[in-house]
Amino acid sequence: MAKQEVVEGFKFEQRHGKERVRVARVWKTRQGQHFIVEWRVGITLFSDCVNSYLRDDNSDIVATDTMKNTVYAKAKECSDILSAEEFAILLAKHFVSFYQKVTGAIVNIVEKPWERVTVDGQPHEHGFKLGSEKHTTEAIVQKSGSLQLTSGIEGLSVLKTTQYTALPDTRERMVATEVTALWRYSYESLYSLPQKPLYFTEKYQEVKKVLADTFFGPPKGGVYSPSVQNTLYLMAKATLNRFPDIAYVSLKLPNLHFIPVNISNQDGPIVKFEDDVYLPTDEPHGSIQASLSRLWSKL
């Protein structure tokens, strides 16, 4: 997206923005139920502002404090609950339409996983607890209205105590990983987006479920994993098969180890491993990463 220019005999390209803008937004219904999101927002703008680098002229620059304040102003304007994807698109669209010199914008959001608590079997009206995995998104919008929208998951920790490839010295083996997932939607324009409210929030939950269900398998018996690589491929394949508006999936699955404990010591306790006592360790660990996309995808 960055436009390369020739400046004083050199190739030059630039961008500027604001990172780690934290915002929380609460919505309250007439029935007394509250909803909250907490987002960490990053903004990158591409603009025609070479003069700000060559001369004492920042007139074409969008001030980074203006970017920060715009996050709060736009959050205030959102009277209805919306997804992180919708807010990212809203911000990016604002910058490319409101500022003449801005040709493109990238907005990244990481959503903190506040989850409604249940008390005495009932969802609490305004009580929330912090979950684990995070919802991420990135919207790239150009002045022409073209769009590239990516969503993802960070920190989805999953573990199976069996049904994993066996080593020579043990009958079975545990498998654990922390899933980082990215998926790119097939929508290429601001004008082709689904109009259903909270569409992308629902899609995030559905993709997360498909990834987890593929990893674990059925409740009784589970599913055998010959390797982390095979499990990764099946997770990515299941996502593309289930969601026709997703064009590309990237998964990273570090192999977090649980090492069987065997201790034979004449002067101390003896521990004979019987598929029961392990030493958990996450450093060093294997790192497995791959992507899967449709044949027609431009990626």
The answer to whether the annotation marks 25 as part of a ligand binding site is: no
84's tokens: 């992180």
CA–centroid distance for 243 within its chain? 17
Set 3, 16, 34, 64: catalytic member: 64
Task: Give the integer Cα–Cα distance in Å for 136 and 182.
Answer: 8
For 191, which DSSP code?
A: G
The helix (run of H) or strand (run of E) holding residue 196 is none
Give the burial class of 228: count Cβ atoms within 10 A of its Cβ; 0-12 exposed, 13-18 middle, 19 or more buried.
Answer: buried
Exposure of 142 by Cβ count < 10 A (0-12 exposed, 13-18 middle, 19+ buried)?
A: middle
Question: Which residue among the candidates 68, 93, 160, 257 is catalytic per the annotation?
Answer: 257
Eight-state DSSP code of residue 23: E
> Is there a contact between 278 and 226 (Cβ–Cβ < 8 Å)?
no
163 assigned binding-site residue: no
Q: Could you give the CA distance from residue 229 to residue 181 in angstroms, rounded to a whole number? A: 14
Residue 173 marked as a ligand binder = yes
Q: Is 70 annotated in some ligand binding site?
A: no
Contacts of 195 (CB under 8 A, 6+ apart): none
DSSP 8-class letter at 162? S
- 3-state helix/strand/coil string of 216-259: HCCCCCCCCECCHHHHHHHHHHHHHHHCCCEEEEEEEEEEEEEE
Catalytic residue among 18, 93, 134, 160: 18
Asked whether residue 103 is marked as a ligand-binding residue, the answer is no
Active site residue 66: no
Residue 257 bears catalytic tag: yes
**245 among annotated binding-site residues:** no
- Give catalytic residue positions: 18, 64, 257
Q: Which residues are annotated as a binding site?
A: 64-65, 173, 228-229, 255
As annotated, the binding site for 5-hydroxyisourate includes 64-65, 173
